[in-house]
Amino acid sequence: MSREHDGSGYAGAGALRLRLLGGFSAWVDGRPVDAGAWRRRKVSRLVKLLALAPDHRLHREQVECLLWPALDPRAASQNLHHTLYRARHTLQPGLERRAEPRFLRLRNDLLELAPYGELESDLEAFERAAAAAFASSGDPAAFAAAAALFGGELLPEERFEDWAIDRRDAVKATYVELLLELADIERRRSGLDAAIDALKRIVAIEPLHEDAQAQLIHLQGLAGRRHLAVAHYQRFRTLLNAELDAEPLPSTVEIYRSVVSGRICRPAAVATEIADRAAPALHG
């Protein structure tokens, strides 16, 4: 099957493709599932829940407890039966009554999503790429490629559902760690603009991440953009005051002061100074 882009930056060839980062969408055999088909929230939540589960399977009682925690077991079981029916027909319109479901199977009290291995998701593509980057011994291209697959917050429409919170936090932390490592690699390669861009992407989603904020101020100073570094520090300090009633850490203040005083030089000036210092030795 040819790869098709769905507009989210993710390309996949699975029979069932799910977009979980930045919002939920589904494709079956390359055709998008109409968003209106998910108007019953429990139907989409059943698919999302299984998409996040290990091996995409859960015991039916787990599903019932997670989706209908306030109901007694009998009522929860009835709701699961009806929701499973609707979800199967959403993914397979025209599914005959006694036909084997292709994407949602209930067997031995285990509920499975895509039991025949026909599932791809942008979340799993991102997590695989991130693992490859961290195993790459500092390849900037691998880190940049993995970060590019992050399409946004995991299932933002389910922000307050307990079953999504831990995975959402883990995915976000992985994204931030990728960008921090990328910024460090690029800084060591003198790729200041690329490092600054990576740090900006962190503070866009984690504005209180002081390590990233401090590095950004530092690198803006190194790049000779003192006015931007100073303005950035002032914005960050104001944010800390407003959100946490706190001041920047002493190390962040020291970076700011070094930028203001000019002790952080432009890379070109540093290179010239090193060359001037080395010249007498070379002539000798």
Task: Read off the CATH number of the domain in which 22 is found.
Answer: 1.10.10.10
One domain, residues 97 and 142? no
One domain, residues 146 and 26? no
One domain, residues 67 and 189? no
Across residues 221-235, what is the average pLDDT? 94
Report the CATH number that the domain containing residue 266 is assigned in CATH: 1.25.40.10
- Write out the two tokens for 128: 């695989």
Q: pLDDT of 103-139, one tens digit each?
A: 999 999 999 999 988 999 999 999 999 999 999 989 9
Listed residues 83, 117, 151: the one ending a domain: 117
One domain, residues 148 and 278? yes
Q: pLDDT of 244-276, one tens digit each?
A: 999 999 999 999 999 999 887 544 443 344 345
Across residues 44-73, what is the average pLDDT? 96
Confidence class of residue 95 from pLDDT cuts 50, 70 and 90? confident
C-alpha to C-alpha distance for 212 and 105, rounded to whole angstroms: 45
In percent, the amount of the chain with pLDDT more than 90 equals 79
One domain, residues 199 and 112? no
Please indicate, yes or no, if residue 5 is contained in any of the structural domains. no
Secondary structure (3-state) at 107: strand
- Write out the two tokens for 93: 């319109």
Answer whether 143's CB lies under 8 Å from 132's CB: no
Confidence class of residue 14 from pLDDT cuts 50, 70 and 90? low
Please indicate, yes or no, if residue 203 is contained in any of the structural domains. yes
The number of helices, as runs of H, and strands, as runs of E, in the chain is 11, 9
Listed residues 62, 86, 117: the one ending a domain: 117
Please indicate, yes or no, if residue 124 is contained in any of the structural domains. no
One domain, residues 260 and 156? yes
Question: Would you state the pLDDT for residue 96?
Answer: 79
Question: Would you state the pLDDT for residue 263?
Answer: 84
Q: Which helix (H) or strand (E) holds 281?
A: helix 267-283
Contacts of 53 (CB under 8 A, 6+ apart): 113
Tally of domains in the chain: 2
One domain, residues 112 and 141? no
29 burial (CB, 10 Å; 0-12 / 13-18 / 19+) is exposed
Q: Looking up tokens 């960008």, which residue turns up?
A: 179
One domain, residues 101 and 151? no
4 pLDDT exceeds 70? Answer: no
Confidence class of residue 162 from pLDDT cuts 50, 70 and 90? very high
C-alpha to C-alpha distance for 81 and 70, rounded to whole angstroms: 17
10 pLDDT exceeds 70? Answer: no
Please indicate, yes or no, if residue 7 is contained in any of the structural domains. no
One domain, residues 144 and 255? yes
216 pLDDT exceeds 60? Answer: yes
Please indicate, yes or no, if residue 128 is contained in any of the structural domains. no
One domain, residues 205 and 170? yes
Which domain does 60 fall in, by range?
13-117
Please indicate, yes or no, if residue 89 is contained in any of the structural domains. yes
Listed residues 84, 117, 150: the one ending a domain: 117
